[in-house]
Structure 1
């Protein structure tokens, strides 16, 4: 029987780039998670008796909120809930389940690459029926509802056994605990030449994969070790832990330093990779060669035709605005359209659904294609493995040959984390006010050609997204981008993106910090980073 629980609005429930993210203790407050889930159900489109997908990255508080969501879904007229065994669903696997089983949408419980544990982060985001993140119109409607909500609905029912495959009734609703690993692995086998990869492994090709004690572990073990034949132990930290083993599950040079030590050591394997907390990001590093996410997008797009799922060619390439223009050069060479979107995978959804783009990427280690509507860390790793197996070369050689053909976009992102929000806002406000006066100004040996705040006109639905980040473009093709991140839970994170293009025949194999030194100095001078933040160096460089 449905029970109505009176409630009042909770402050701060505006979804960010990837849903609602707060500290666990915030979500543990009475009515907090329930209000948000009910607000989602109050506004999203669905037919009576629709299916809902629920799962998360296994972080602390995951199982509790899954049980809450199941009861609230039963009270709100859903006919079925599909949940991953153990409550585990990687973000790309959740997108696949939504699409495969025709669900009306899904709740993904994750804070992605943010740390987990009782004192750390938790998150909820809603994905729509195409498997992708809810667009801005939906998230705005959810937020509006959180500000007026006065009740949430539930049923009195025991917890569902999330560790046992099979069906359970919760009132009139069926809960199916499914093996999402098998579903996802079958999808990957339909896209990639597993025989070619297996043959490369049998020929001595070696790999190290760090699952970072996060959600990708079970998927990576099944695919890399069980189906592709890599030796047991190839997948490190493969068991998902509620606190990610006390580590920060962000696949970059700082938080995946053990993998970097391995790949730059004397006995490095041929290929190294990692994924993040919820499985949608990736790290690619060859023997003594790190590949930036921007370069990885470009290199994958240039070679995707070598995988069976993309043998017919690409419809187009899309990248987020802060991502380097390396993919643009590939698109131009292949005669393909290239779309520049705001940060956030939801902006790729329309392009993918309309068949205008096939491969998409973000500089924050997210790459994916039209096989789902989320970025997909393990997908990117498998496409790399497919390409290397067919071309019979290593990562370093592939990178050098790519730059010799297209030139190189030296690129880095500097993150200033947990800044006081008022200081970060003041920096951006002052920077925006200065834009009209920056054109033509010199900074060292660099001269600004144009400066603006990026605005995106969606070519599919005609919607406009403004205020998406400040772009400073210099003569000769270099640029700096400034934006505040929407993925943190504490204070504000200022992200500064630095890019220098070196054409074919130029210096294509220099150290990135050396090549970006002038841009780093110019960025501080233009935005007054040290003056506003008190920081003389970023917290994280990727």
Structure 2
């Protein structure tokens, strides 16, 4: 049967501006008539010259509204002369897997249906982001163009009678307006597992987890938090590496994540932290967010590894991973708010080091130019140039490779690292769903503060410690590959002893404003003290300078990491 597309009149919606990683709103917003259709049409229109005859990857973390959104994408893609869609079975694909598929199949890009670490379910969040042909998130130029189109859209193309089942693998072919349109439904895991087996030595990792005649088994607890990584964890850890059922938790993807907040940090992954603390069998605990691009690592007795330290330790030990033995190490990078622990590793190993704005898209050009092998963000994201997204499962396999190579515990590895490089004490205070006007006023106050001629050299004291301001700015970045500029990426206050305060409004929330305050202090000798105690004086100074409590009325942060 030949299907016919139609043109449906529409009008713009306010606020369809993609943030750091796409458009995120409450589910009920995406369910409004024409809302999702408008945004998908604008994604395609922003690449009008390339869309005809192209192939796109589609999938997401399985959260509520995924099925409905994929049906919309199928019907709009067919009407817009897209030639083929590659869709994960049941609509499931982790964000790292989407990046891998785009690269391995050499397609135009992919539409990722996720709000990442945000809660799911009908009352919570949904998101749509577009990844380009290198597998990475769309750059600012493209997202700005998409947003401009959403402000003036008048119609979208649709194939109303196209019904496509994507519950099981297989190829389906349709005739739309006399053209062939193909939907290939694939197993969401196969390609990704093949990639991981080309990067890591699975034989060694299997021996680590199961033990040998001379070495006891290394016990792990991997928590997928009811997100999409469950299908990957099941295949990799239970089937490929032979770990037992007690080594995994919450591996069945649920559209509401079981009413939990799928954010892998000490607050929202408390169940994992408590379990590893109570059960001393476990040598490593790990958690992932909804779409699998973030990770948290803890050691025995819930010894916490900050994302900044995790990045630095992996950087210092890449030589034990076959992928880097073969391809070499070309450079390191971190987001600006991330503590500078990896900078010292780069200096010792004589590697290039880059500091970029928050957002994984800023790493892509450096990787494509062959100048970056490993990068990370303090927001629990770590990855390498094997794809163009951060990758939670990859990070855990990297840690297991290091542990197998060094024959040391996580805590021993960290303490050895601090003895060598010193320690960046680091914390982040998140104030979620603040009043937008109040949050913006606080940032305006900080802008005035850093523009004051007398601020450099000014001292602040708290808890018996004094800090002298050395430099202030609103971070800007010039991409060394294409010379594009990103401005106003976060207020920075740098002190003479190397300590830092950073203030940003997050671009990943779906409602209200999230204020993030980053506190970073470097210590060469005192490396085993409690981080929150060490940082408390700087926290007090951050609150004094920002007047956060006065502007927002918040007495405490929502999350401390």
Give the TM-score of the pair, scaled to structure 2.
0.95
**Which position in structure 2 is the counterpart of 1:481?**
502
Is residue 2:143 matched to residue 1:155?
no
Residue 526 of structure 1 corresponds to which residue in structure 2?
A: 545
Secondary structure at the counterpart of residue 497 of structure 1: strand
1:55 match: secondary structure: strand
**Secondary structure of 2:363's aligned partner:** helix
**Are residue 192 (structure 1) and residue 200 (structure 2) matched?**
yes
Q: Deviations over 1:208-258 (max 9, x none)?
A: 000000010000110011001111232200000000000000000011001
Supply the distance in 2 between the matched residues of 1:268 and 1:255 (Cα, whole angstroms). Answer: 22
Query: Match for 2:441 among 402, 417, 426?
Result: 426
Residue correspondence of structure 1 range 171-182 to structure 2 within 5 A = 171=175, 172-182=180-190
2:214 alignment partner in structure 1: none
1:372 is aligned to 2:372: no
Map 1:461-500; keep pairs closer than 5 Å. Answer: 461-500=482-521
Per the alignment, residue 290 of structure 2 pairs with 277
Paired residue for 1:294, among 308, 322, 325?
A: 308
Q: State the secondary structure of the residue aligned to 1:519.
A: helix
Q: 1:122 aligns to what? A: 126
User: Is structure 2 residue 277 aligned with structure 1 residue 264?
Assistant: yes
**1:10-409 equivalences in 2 (<5 Å):** 10-44=13-47, 46=50, 48-171=52-175, 172-203=180-211, 204-288=217-301, 289-312=303-326, 313-409=328-424
RMSD (CA atoms): 0.9
Contact 1:209 1:272 (8 Å CA) reproduced: yes
The Cα offsets for residues 463-488 of structure 1, whole Å up to 9 and x where unpaired, read as 11000000110111111100000000
Out of 439, 451, 469, the residue aligned to residue 456 of structure 2 is: 439
Counterpart-to-counterpart distance in 1, 2:379 and 2:141: 24
Q: Say if 1:317 and 1:358, in contact at 8 Å, map to a contact too.
A: yes
- Matches of 1:134 and 1:337 in 2, distance apart? 25
> Is the contact made by 1:71 and 1:170 (CA closer than 8 Å) also made in structure 2?
no
Give the drift of 1:263.
Answer: 2.1
For 1:268 and 1:233, the matched residues in 2 are separated by 11
Deviation per CA, 1:330-368: give whole Å up to 9, x if none.
Answer: 000100011000000000010011011000100000000
> Which runs of structure 1 show a deviation greater than 6 angstroms over 4 or more consecutive aligned residues?
none
Shift of 1:156: 2.7
**Matched residues in 2 for 1:10 and 1:112: separation?**
23
Report if the CA contact (8 A) 1:54-1:81 is conserved: yes
Q: Deviations over 1:48-69 (max 9, x none)?
A: 3110111110000001000100
1:34-85 CA distances to partner (integer Å, 9 max, x unpaired)?
0000001011252531101111100000010001001100111111000001
Q: Distance in 2 between matches of 1:81 and 1:272?
A: 36
The correspondence for 1:6, drawn from 9, 34, 37, is: 9
Q: Match of 1:453?
A: 474
Encode CA deviations 1:262-310: one digit per residue, 9 max, x unaligned: 2222524011101001100000001131000010001011101101001
Task: Measure the CA separation in 2 of the matches of 1:202 and 1:282.
Answer: 23
| TM-score for the superposition, normalised by structure 1 | 0.98
Aligned length: 540
Contact 2:75–2:162 (Cα < 8 Å) also in 1: no
Is the 1:157–1:170 Cα contact (8 Å) retained in structure 2? no
Asked whether the 8 Å contact 2:52–2:80 carries over to 1, the reply is no
Distance 1:459 1:315 in 2: 15
Gaps of 5+ in 1: none
- Any conservation in 1 of the 2:51–2:80 contact (CA below 8 Å)? no
Distance in 2 between residues matched to 1:325 and 1:216, nearest whole Å = 29
Q: Indicate if the aligned counterparts of 2:56 and 2:86 stay in contact, CA closer than 8 A.
A: yes
In 2, distance between residues paired with 1:217 and 1:160? 25
Query: What secondary structure sits across from 1:21 in the alignment?
Result: strand
Q: Using the alignment, how far apart are the partners of 2:444 and 2:517 within structure 1? A: 15
C-alpha displacement of 1:152? 0.4
* 1:469-527, Cα deviation, whole Å (9 max, x unpaired): 00110111111100000000110000000001001xx1111101111011001101111
SS of the residue 1:349 aligns to: helix
Is the alpha carbon distance of 1:47 and 1:399 closer, same or farther for their aligned partners in structure 2, counting shifts above 3 Å? same
Rounded to whole Å, the distance in 2 between the matches of 1:157 and 1:363 is 46
Structure 2: distance between partners of 1:278 and 1:99: 18
Deviations 1:415-460 (A, max 9, x none): 0111000000000011011103321111101111111100000000
